[in-house]
Amino acid sequence: MSEEKMETGDSTIQPSKPESSSSPGEAPWVEKYRPSKLCDIVGNEQTITRLEVFAREGNVPNVIIAGPPGTGKTTSILCLARAMLGPSYREAVLELNASNDRGIDVVRNKIKMFAQQKVTLPPGRHKIIILDEADSMTDGAQQALRRTMEIYSKTTRFALACNASDKIIEPIQSRCAVLRYSKLSDAQVTKRLLEVCESETVSYTDDGLEAIIFTAQGDMRQALNNLQSTFQGFEHVNSENVFKVCDEPHPLLVKDMLQHCVVGNIDEAYKIMAHLWKLGYSPEDIIGIIFRVCKNHDMPEYLKLEFIKEIGYTHMRIAEGIHSLLQMSGMLARLCKKSAEPNVLAS
């Protein structure tokens, strides 16, 4: 959309879109709604409470926060540093992430230099070195950190964030308190989305929000991004628009396909699969969504377990590199066969 104003001289012409708070040049909502206080962070209450205690009483240990993407790790560390250091934040925090060079030389020079600098802080407060996305640091750089962490422990604390804590070498883990974040629940994401919808005056339907929750799978960043893209692309958030933006197979189609399998109607099930295939979705996309839909599908429990087993086998074959429609159709045939078999548990 062009931002240029047209001089038409006709005062009756209205802008095509009202000047809303979501003009294209504005910051993405993930940044606009990044919590700035620990108490605003959604979910993982116990861990956040621990961080709040650290912030209040000072004397933080070195910490590692590990967990899936978009759950608030970076945000928590920034909030913690801000709460602890307040006005001294600028001189007492060194923030390095995967976009900075963090090879062994940086540990030897930059981190050490920062740790040696003198900054006057209230008692119980320490300088903080934030190493975001620490799982991408090389082993060498992590090794070089070991002694640095100990030597400067009187004045400096380390806060690491990562997705996979096993990529952090054991000796570093042993020097830190490891806090784990889990994915956010659907209710937690919904609550936050509703708040954002209200303050951005987003027009939405319930099924639109459900669709966003379904595609985000507990990742708040993705949920907010999908909400913003759908709203800015279509000006209305309903499930159809969400799936256009997110470009995932529509779960309702997949649900129908599974239901056809449950009643043993392979022809109809195949039609939907062929349709999805023609739309260009990859087998990984399709199988992933089949699993997620099947988990919540209303069907007999024993049959659901059998279905999930079959879906799992097919996923494995796809992961091994067998990417064909025939393979996917074979799965449908097996699912239909499972439905036709008598329930051995009930007999």
Interface residues toward Mg ion, by CB under 5 A: 74
75, 165, 226, 314: which one binds ligand ATP (CB under 6 A):
75
Beta bridge partner(s), residue 161: 65
Q: What is the rounded CA–CA span in Å between residue 75 and residue 55?
A: 14
Binding mask 225-264 toward ligand ATP (x if CB under 6 A, else -) reads ----------------------------------------
Q: Which is nearer to ligand ATP, 37 or 147 (CB)?
A: 37
Among Mg ion, ligand ATP, none, partner that 72 touches (CB below 5 to 8 angstroms by kind): ligand ATP
136, 155, 163, 327: which one binds ligand ATP (CB under 6 A):
163
60, 64, 72, 254: which one binds ligand ATP (CB under 6 A):
72
Among ligand ATP, Mg ion, none, partner that 69 touches (CB below 5 to 8 angstroms by kind): ligand ATP
277: closest CA among 325, 218, 329? 325
Q: Is 43 in the site for ligand ATP (CB under 6 A)?
A: yes
CB of 228 to Mg ion, least distance (A): 19
Q: Is 125 in the site for ligand ATP (CB under 6 A)?
A: no
Q: Is 66 in the site for ligand ATP (CB under 6 A)?
A: no
Write out the H or E segment, with its range, that includes residue 180. strand 177-180
Q: Residues binding ligand ATP: what is the number (CB under 6 A)?
A: 22
**Do the bridges between strand 127-131 and strand 156-162 make them parallel or antiparallel, or are there none, so unpaired?**
parallel
CB of 89 to ligand ATP, least distance (A): 17
42: closest CA among 152, 154, 194? 194
Q: What is the rounded CA–CA span in Å between residue 35 and residue 83?
A: 12
CB of 95 to ligand ATP, least distance (A): 12
The residue whose two tokens read 């027009």 is 203
CB of 111 to ligand ATP, least distance (A): 20
- In DSSP notation, 222-272 reads HHHHHHHHHHHHHSSB-HHHHHHHHT---HHHHHHHHHHHHTT-HHHHHHH
38, 54, 63, 71: which one binds ligand ATP (CB under 6 A):
71
Let me know the angle formed at the C-alpha of 304 by 302 and 310, rounded to the nearest 5 degrees: 110
Binding mask 167-206 toward ligand ATP (x if CB under 6 A, else -) reads -----------------x-------x--------------
Tell me which stretch binds ligand ATP (CB under 6 A): 29-37, 164-172, 228-236, 241-249.
29-37
CB of 77 to Mg ion, least distance (A): 8
239: closest CA among 213, 211, 216, 202? 211
Cα torsion angle, 56, 190, 281, 324, sign: positive
Contact 253, 54 (CB under 8 A): no
Going by C-beta distance under 8 Å and a sequence separation of 6 or more, which residues neighbour residue 278?
A: none
Write out the residues near ligand ATP by the rule CB under 6 A: 30-31, 33-35, 41-43, 69-75, 161, 163, 184, 192, 220-221, 224
